[in-house]
Structure 1
Amino acid sequence: MIETQTSFSELIRNKQWKTLKISLNELDTVESATLIEQSDGDEIILFRLLDRTLAKDVFRLLSFSKKVGIIEILAQNGPKVSNLINDIEPDDRTAFFEELPLEFTERLIQLLSPEERQVAIQLLGYPEDSVGRLMTPEYLAVHPTDTIEYTFEHIRKYGRDSETLNVIYIVDSDNKLLGDVRIKEILLASPHQKISELMGSRFVALNAADDQEIGLKTFRDYDRVALPVINAEGIMMGIVTVDDIMDVEVEESTEDFHKFGSFQSAVANPLKARIFHLYKNRIFWLLALVFMNVFSGAAISNFENVIQSVVSLVFFLPLLIDSGGNAGAQSATLMIRSLAVGDVKITDWYKLIVKELLVSLLLGCTMALGVALVASFRAPEVIIVVSLTMVLIVMTGSVVGMLLPFIFTKLKLDPATASAPLITSIADICGVLIYFSIANWYFS
């Protein structure tokens, strides 16, 4: 791609527009998108030279910042930007519009044709992060009384406008969803058979008002390439395809990953993000945890006497409390992921706590052997204290890490908010109290 990018840059410098256009449109969609994404200043020239059909597919693959830059320049030429946003698939257009400032979105909506404008307004009218925002109204549907022969005619006539031809949907005269049939079954059926003969008694559908995470779980459970979307009355509104749900999975995973690192919200690209945006996303939890860690200092100050009498205790303090935080972060990561994919339900917490106690006991005893070995060389007099503390701290950190995601889920909060720094801070406070309480008891 580097060689390709260099050759295209040379064509632009030499103003060989005809050769450039031919060469550019010979690339596949991904190659064209990568070329434009990596271009520094030439992207609008390259994008203008794309064929209209290729342009909409390439636009979908570009980063949000590139999309905005291209739209802003094309907006100076009304017909060009109007053609582009009318050509973009409705679900992709909705995903782009919802990230734009409201005023900009309203301006672009006015450039849509009456039919596309109605579709755009309808999709944007669904709640944010709902299945309705992901769906496209471009699908194929037939009636149960239609023959296979008529169905093929219908596919040939309207199939080019459909998002996918893998599944054909079956609706009644009121457009109420009755079922679906795979294209393979239609291909193998007799021309005079009716669709009703191929229709099963059960089907899977999403509700337009459902959260996107419900849609993601349904796709995982049923392994479909597309799912129909209905309203509360069962009327078919559109379909969601697997490529759109994969985008949601990436977004959800990124958001959870950032929350676990104590970010206020996801950061799309740190290279392009503004300094204040990065600052704003990181400062809240860091500042909150500063005040939280004051409790650790207060706990240590209450044990000044035992620290003065056995100074070697201080050497093992970072080692012990870090072990508790690390164990808690491991446990929390496992629970958050299990809750997210549905392997574990919120009502399973009491089953898991016993298992976590046993696992953490084994972990703590193993780690206690390690710290006892270190203490035998450094400070033999504290072997019992540090060994016992290690077991209790690892168990405490693990249980805290396991329970916090369940608590946050119960409070209707994202379990990823039970972030690693939060767990570590709680484990630090508990670790200090456990360590010096045992030391105070042992040496008193």
Structure 2
Amino acid sequence: MTRSGVDLGVLSILPLRASALDSPEAIQEWLNSAGPAERSRQVGAMSKAQIARFVALLDATTGPELLGSIDVDLAARVIRSADLAQAGAFLGAMDSDESAEILRKLGEAKRTAVLAQVDPATAETLRNLLRYAPNSVAAHMLPELFTIDGALSAAAAEDAVREQANQMRGKIRAGGYIYVTDVDRQLIGVVGFRDLVLAEPDQPVHELIDDHPVSVRSSHDAENAAQLLVDHDLTALPVVDERGKLLGVLTADAAADILEREATEDAERQGGSAPLEVPYLRASPIRLWRKRIVWLLVLFVAEAYTGTVLRAFEDELEAVVALAFFIPLLIGTGGNTGTQITTTLVRAMATGQMRFRDLPRALLKEMSTGALVAVTMAAAAVVRAWTLGVGAQVTITVSVTVAAIVMWSALVATVLPPLLKKVRVDPAVVSAPMIATIVDGTGLLIYFLIAHLTLPQLAGL
């Protein structure tokens, strides 16, 4: 039992509600028991008054630990409920990249007030991070890192690293690397901790370094930088300015968060919705409406041309009523084919498996696959037409149209994502509903054009 009267022994089995805890000790026990997802779920379920009571019990240890483990949007809610001195102490004790992420979620007035409570050196570091565009790698970098002069001996370099660690109060998590710079902080190379420790004490550092380190400019896209870190199997990626001056590093943890967030946003866009930017269960109906309605209206307007196509060919439908039986099947097949391809390509592009220069190979691959799919689906269409007893001529029309629509859908779905990426538009906007909408109307045009070529009843129409 704690002073709060809460039996903490059950925490290892079933985490208690955070809102029920009423002592700093109980909160520490709760943090020891609940994982990041459980912490976010419980704190996110609190009312504003409950969060205020909970935050008042946080201390210099539990406050930063909580903020560093929950999602950024929720961490910002916690900071808003804290008094300014408390908020400043929490953010000042956290890693700079995490603190900057939280500060971006605050309004300008609140952000300025909180920064005034942080020690001047840390506050200046955070202000520098906040100056970068949110989607740039510099906005997510960790400025605290170890730097040494290449002319030092291994023993002297170790002493320099220890001194920097003491000055920065353990904030450095440079991923096992020490960065070698000149007097102007230009990046010269990288040396691993292990290499430095195992070196002879009098061995010069410049003999240990990798003098061709992978690095990125500060304005580089954060997602691309995170993927670069993964591709080169690094634990940290140096970030430099236009002159090669070392500014900080993108850590593996930050890269994982960026890629996870981007994957979530891509998945939401693929479903025909704008990214929620908050966990689903904390999204209000108004937010969900706002994120979905724009796309739905765009798709509604785009889909309207399908009706226009049908109206333009109403004479053909009256002449051969059986043509109408297959409209849902045809447009559904085209949409489904395109959705499969765009989902695969968008993910391949997001993970760096495919770039614009690979478009010819992808097009050849998908058109070849499309041909196989087209033959299979055409055979299935023959069977379906036969079961409806529509006659040989309509059966031929439908089967040929299915094959043509599959090939057309494969072409559109393969070309669009890389083209959008090339013009700096997120290819994830080519959502499943969007592809279906594009293929619906064009598929109907293909259908009726083929019908004119194969059905004598439509001659002259």
How far does the alpha carbon of each residue in 1:317-357 deviate from its partner, in whole angstroms, 9 at most, with x for none? 10111000111111222222233333222233334333322
Counterpart amino acid of 1:146? L
How does 1:38-187 map onto structure 2 within 5 Å? 40=46, 42-75=50-83, 78-159=84-165, 160-164=170-174, 166-187=176-197
1:303–1:21: structure 2 CA closer, same or farther, 3 Å change rule? Answer: closer
Q: What is the TM-score with the length of structure 1 in the denominator? A: 0.90
- Does the aligned pair in 2 maintain the 1:206–1:228 contact within 8 Å? yes
Counterpart amino acid of 1:71? I
Greater alpha carbon shift after TM alignment, 403-412 vs 380-389: 403-412
Which residue in 1 is equivalent to 2:426? 414
For residue 132 of structure 1, report the CA deviation from its aligned partner: 1.1
Which residue in 1 is equivalent to 2:408? 396
- Does the aligned pair in 2 maintain the 1:24–1:32 contact within 8 Å? no
Which residue in 2 is equivalent to 1:440? 452
Paired residue secondary structure (1:161): coil
Paired residue secondary structure (2:111): helix
Counterpart amino acid of 1:262? G
1:364–1:23: structure 2 CA closer, same or farther, 3 Å change rule? Answer: same
- Does the aligned pair in 2 maintain the 1:145–1:194 contact within 8 Å? yes
- Whole-Å Cα distance in 2 between the matches of residues 35 and 272 of structure 1? 9
- Does the aligned pair in 1 maintain the 2:146–2:164 contact within 8 Å? yes
Paired residue secondary structure (2:61): helix
For residue 130 of structure 1, report the CA deviation from its aligned partner: 0.9
How far does the alpha carbon of each residue in 1:169-205 deviate from its partner, in whole angstroms, 9 at most, with x for none? 1112222211111111112111222211211331111
- Does the aligned pair in 2 maintain the 1:323–1:394 contact within 8 Å? yes
Picking from 246, 249, 255, the partner of 2:265 is: 255
Paired residue secondary structure (1:52): coil
Which residue in 1 is equivalent to 2:350? 340
1:83–1:187: structure 2 CA closer, same or farther, 3 Å change rule? Answer: same
1:83–1:211: structure 2 CA closer, same or farther, 3 Å change rule? Answer: same
- Does the aligned pair in 1 maintain the 2:136–2:218 contact within 8 Å? yes
- Does the aligned pair in 1 maintain the 2:144–2:248 contact within 8 Å? yes
For residue 392 of structure 1, report the CA deviation from its aligned partner: 0.5
Counterpart amino acid of 2:328? P
Greater alpha carbon shift after TM alignment, 151-160 vs 376-385: 151-160
1:384 aligns with 2:360: no
Counterpart amino acid of 1:219? L
How far does the alpha carbon of each residue in 1:123-144 deviate from its partner, in whole angstroms, 9 at most, with x for none? 1112221111111221111111
For residue 424 of structure 1, report the CA deviation from its aligned partner: 0.6
Paired residue secondary structure (1:271): helix
Paired residue secondary structure (2:237): strand
- Whole-Å Cα distance in 2 between the matches of residues 9 and 406 of structure 1? 48
Structure 2 alignment gaps of length 5 or more: 1-10, 457-461
Structure 1 alignment gaps of length 5 or more: none
- Whole-Å Cα distance in 1 between the matches of residues 271 and 244 of structure 2? 41
1:35–1:357: structure 2 CA closer, same or farther, 3 Å change rule? Answer: closer
1:312 aligns with 2:318: no
Picking from 323, 346, 371, the partner of 2:381 is: 371
Greater alpha carbon shift after TM alignment, 104-113 vs 257-266: 257-266
Counterpart amino acid of 1:67? A
How does 1:18-33 map onto structure 2 within 5 Å? 20=26, 23-24=29-30, 26-27=32-33, 30=36, 33=39
For residue 304 of structure 1, report the CA deviation from its aligned partner: 2.3
1:21–1:349: structure 2 CA closer, same or farther, 3 Å change rule? Answer: closer
1:28–1:6: structure 2 CA closer, same or farther, 3 Å change rule? Answer: closer
Greater alpha carbon shift after TM alignment, 40-49 vs 197-206: 40-49
- Whole-Å Cα distance in 1 between the matches of residues 93 and 101 of structure 2? 14
How far does the alpha carbon of each residue in 1:275-333 deviate from its partner, in whole angstroms, 9 at most, with x for none? 33222222222212222222211211232233223323222210111000111111222
Greater alpha carbon shift after TM alignment, 276-285 vs 230-239: 276-285
How far does the alpha carbon of each residue in 1:351-377 deviate from its partner, in whole angstroms, 9 at most, with x for none? 433332222111011011112112211
- Does the aligned pair in 1 maintain the 2:76–2:103 contact within 8 Å? no
- Does the aligned pair in 2 maintain the 1:123–1:133 contact within 8 Å? yes
- Does the aligned pair in 2 maintain the 1:227–1:241 contact within 8 Å? yes
1:196 aligns with 2:206: yes
Which residue in 2 is equivalent to 1:241? 251
Q: Paired residues, what number?
A: 438
Greater alpha carbon shift after TM alignment, 19-28 vs 81-90: 19-28
Counterpart amino acid of 1:209? S
